[in-house]
Amino acid sequence: MEGLRTSSVSSIHIPTSISKTQFNKPKFLNFQFNPVPTATFSRKTPSQSKLFTTISSSPYFVSTPEPELEADSQAEKFDWYAHWYPVMPVCDLDKRAPHAKKVMGLDIVVWWDNNESSWRVFNDACPHRLAPLSEGRIDRWGRLQCVYHGWCFNGSGHCNFIPQAPPDGPPVSTSKKACVAVYPSTVHHDIVWFWPNTDPQYKDIILKKQPPFIPELDDPSYIKITGSRDLPYGYEVLIENLMDPAHVPYAHYGIMKTRQPKVKADREGGEPVELSIKKLDIDGFIGNQVQFGINKFIAPCISYADRSPVVSLFNGFFIKNLSVQKPSMQRREALIFFCVPVSPGNSRLIWAIPKNYGVWITKVVPRFILHSVTNIVLDSDLYLLHLEERKIMEIGSSNWQKACFVPVKSDAFVVGFRKWLNKYAGGQVDWRGNYSGTLPPAPPREQLLDRYWSHVVNCPSCNSAYKGLNALEVILQFASLAFIGIAGATKHNVYTMVAMAVVCFVGSKWLDQFIYKNFHYHDYDHAFR
């Protein structure tokens, strides 16, 4: 990581004059970037990477006549289908069953090929009559079986059994048309990734291009807290939110402890946040956060934030005296978010939080408790973001800069992301015409904030805790009845028995609420926080 901190001169240029723009609202924070080499910083090993750490002191409030965030027809174009996409953490995939996932609007099935000991990603449609293979099973020979008519496929997508085909008839199963489309896939940083193109020319794409390498995720001296959640807002809003530290004291008030300013201007303790973009190109951007360190957006999916001197996301520990510690002794932590485009209005967050201290936390605290805390954090701004996205869609995402007023440096990363999106990536995810462009209807709040289908069913830790606690609730209810029954039948120790019955009954009621709030729905009312 220290290699990443090599200084270089920033190529950033911030215009210094204020002028009228053609927009209704003045534009601020319009970074103008000098041409930079299109280095693939995010895909190099640490020793090859360089960061730009010079912080500009240029006057800040600027506006230029040109809409900086509009698409640049001269710029290199980002190909959304020429990148690896994370699908799920391996620890959250059951090897015994196929799993349905949607990524980039593509329906895929992820399954464990026991014969080759590797995860496979197929198009989730049987070549026979398009039934979803994810509803199928893995048979005792390790083949993926479509459960509609029993066709079976090996890890290469070849059909090797059609039950209805007579053994002495034509070898229909060897037909090319009987094969399933196979996506290239790999496991990297304990996550299954896939390449969203089934063209055979990409079969060995992993030899030419790997998913981004993140040193902390491969460092055995770090522990990492991982998980995933499906979210009812789109990829763009998800990335923006994760790159926006200024919202934390407000949207997550009472949940996430943040560094408090010396002089508090309000109860929540918001303060100026010095963010700046140091380099932006087709591969994303590198930014600096004065208080905490570097941030990176590694296009299209990764938001990386160094949080070493910061309050921990989960337990509020503030790490002091970092500057006097030897680098080898420094407590380090990063927030790494994999933001997966699912479909318009839907995204998936996979988080990985590596840290080289507090190793006990993953040994002592059950994973479902850690997930419960993360889910509260995600819930507390979920509804805001769901509605915000609708407003953006109403005005059109290309008009984002016209509608939003972003006058302070704390929005620099959000503006940087929008700039990348508009300049290189066509202004939005390329769904290849699979969607009309409108968002799905907004479901009721309780459904939006649902945790069960968006997380628990996909998380073995939460799922087993959910089942175990439900069983305990039933046991407590039975125990309560049993104590009453014993008291009535024996007439001995009646008070003790009744007290025990009450304790069990109250315990079961408390557990019922605990289960509901942690595994189904936990509303968050900002007004009364």
- Sort 232 into a burial class: Cβ within 10 Å, 0-12 / 13-18 / 19+: buried
CA angle 303, 304, 309 (to 5 degrees): 140
Does 314 participate in binding ligand FES (rule CB under 6 A)?
no
The residue from 44, 95, 96, 129 that contacts ligand FES (CB under 6 A) is 129
The residue from 29, 69, 146, 336 that contacts ligand FES (CB under 6 A) is 146
The distance of closest approach from Cβ of residue 147 to ligand FES in the complex, given in angstroms and rounded to an integer, is 8
Q: Which one of the spans 114-122, 127-135, 303-311, 438-446 is the region binding ligand FES (CB under 6 A)?
A: 127-135
CA angle 317, 305, 357 (to 5 degrees): 35
> CA distances (Å), 334 to each of 1, 108, 225, 352, in order?
11, 30, 11, 8
Region at 118 (left for phi over 0; alpha for psi -120 to 50; beta for the rest): beta
The DSSP bridge pattern shows strands 293-298 and 302-306 to be antiparallel
Distance CA 120, CA 393 (A): 35
**Closest CB to ligand FES among residues 127, 416:** 127
Beta bridge mates, 287: 277, 295
Q: Which one of the spans 142-150, 255-263, 314-322, 396-404 is the region binding ligand FES (CB under 6 A)?
A: 142-150
Question: Binding to Fe ion (CB under 5 A): which residues in 359-378?
Answer: 371
Determine if the peptide bond prior to 300 is cis (ω within 30°).
yes
Does 462 participate in binding Fe ion (rule CB under 5 A)?
yes
Does 126 participate in binding ligand FES (rule CB under 6 A)?
yes
Distance CA 509, CA 239 (A): 39
Does 128 participate in binding ligand FES (rule CB under 6 A)?
yes
Binding track over 44-83 against ligand FES, x by CB under 6 A: ----------------------------------------
The distance of closest approach from Cβ of residue 123 to ligand FES in the complex, given in angstroms and rounded to an integer, is 12
The residue from 131, 475, 482, 503 that contacts ligand FES (CB under 6 A) is 131
**Closest CB to ligand FES among residues 89, 155:** 155
Q: DSSP 3-state assignment of 252?
A: coil
Does 138 participate in binding ligand FES (rule CB under 6 A)?
no
Question: Which does residue 459 touch among Fe ion, ligand FES, none (CB within 5 to 8 A, set by kind)?
Answer: Fe ion
Question: Binding to Fe ion (CB under 5 A): which residues in 391-410?
Answer: none
Q: Which one of the spans 1-9, 123-131, 175-183, 432-440 is the region binding ligand FES (CB under 6 A)?
A: 123-131
What's the token pair of residue 127?
Answer: 């070549």
**Gyration radius (Cα) of the chain, Å:** 26
Does 151 participate in binding ligand FES (rule CB under 6 A)?
yes
The distance of closest approach from Cβ of residue 148 to ligand FES in the complex, given in angstroms and rounded to an integer, is 4
Find the farthest-apart pair of alpha carbons in the chain and give their distance in angstroms, rounded.
90
Q: DSSP 3-state assignment of 51?
A: coil
**Closest CB to ligand FES among residues 106, 125:** 125
The residue from 60, 148, 202, 213 that contacts ligand FES (CB under 6 A) is 148
Total residues interacting with Fe ion, rule: CB under 5 A: 4
The DSSP bridge pattern shows strands 85-89 and 32-33 to be unpaired
The distance of closest approach from Cβ of residue 429 to ligand FES in the complex, given in angstroms and rounded to an integer, is 30
The distance of closest approach from Cβ of residue 142 to ligand FES in the complex, given in angstroms and rounded to an integer, is 18
Total residues interacting with ligand FES, rule: CB under 6 A: 9
How many helices and strands (H and E) does the chain possess? 10, 20
The distance of closest approach from Cβ of residue 100 to ligand FES in the complex, given in angstroms and rounded to an integer, is 15
Q: Which residues, 6+ apart, have CB-to-CB distance to 9 below 8 Å? A: 52, 54
Question: Which does residue 462 touch among Fe ion, ligand FES, none (CB within 5 to 8 A, set by kind)?
Answer: Fe ion
H-helix or E-strand spanning residue 235: helix 235-242
Which ranges in 425-459 belong to alpha helices (H)? 445-448
Report the b/e string of 315-330 with b at 16+ CB within 10 A: eeeebeeeeeeeeeeb
The DSSP letter of residue 333 is: B
Does 231 participate in binding Fe ion (rule CB under 5 A)?
no
Phi, psi of 362 (to 5 degrees): -80, -15
Q: Which one of the spans 78-86, 121-129, 212-220, 303-311 is the region binding ligand FES (CB under 6 A)?
A: 121-129
Q: Which one of the spans 15-23, 143-151, 435-443, 449-457 is the region binding ligand FES (CB under 6 A)?
A: 143-151
Query: What is the residue whose two structure tokens read 């945790």?
Result: 451
**Closest CB to Fe ion among residues 294, 352:** 352
Phi, psi of 263 (to 5 degrees): -115, 115
Does 149 participate in binding ligand FES (rule CB under 6 A)?
yes
**Closest CB to ligand FES among residues 38, 174:** 174
Question: Which does residue 371 touch among Fe ion, ligand FES, none (CB within 5 to 8 A, set by kind)?
Answer: Fe ion
Q: Which one of the spans 147-155, 238-246, 479-487, 502-510 is the region binding ligand FES (CB under 6 A)?
A: 147-155
The distance of closest approach from Cβ of residue 452 to Fe ion in the complex, given in angstroms and rounded to an integer, is 11
Contact, 389 vs 400, CB < 8 A? no
Q: DSSP 3-state assignment of 516?
A: helix
The distance of closest approach from Cβ of residue 146 to ligand FES in the complex, given in angstroms and rounded to an integer, is 3
Residues that bind Fe ion (CB under 5 A): 371, 459, 461-462
Residues that bind ligand FES (CB under 6 A): 126, 128-129, 131, 146, 148-151
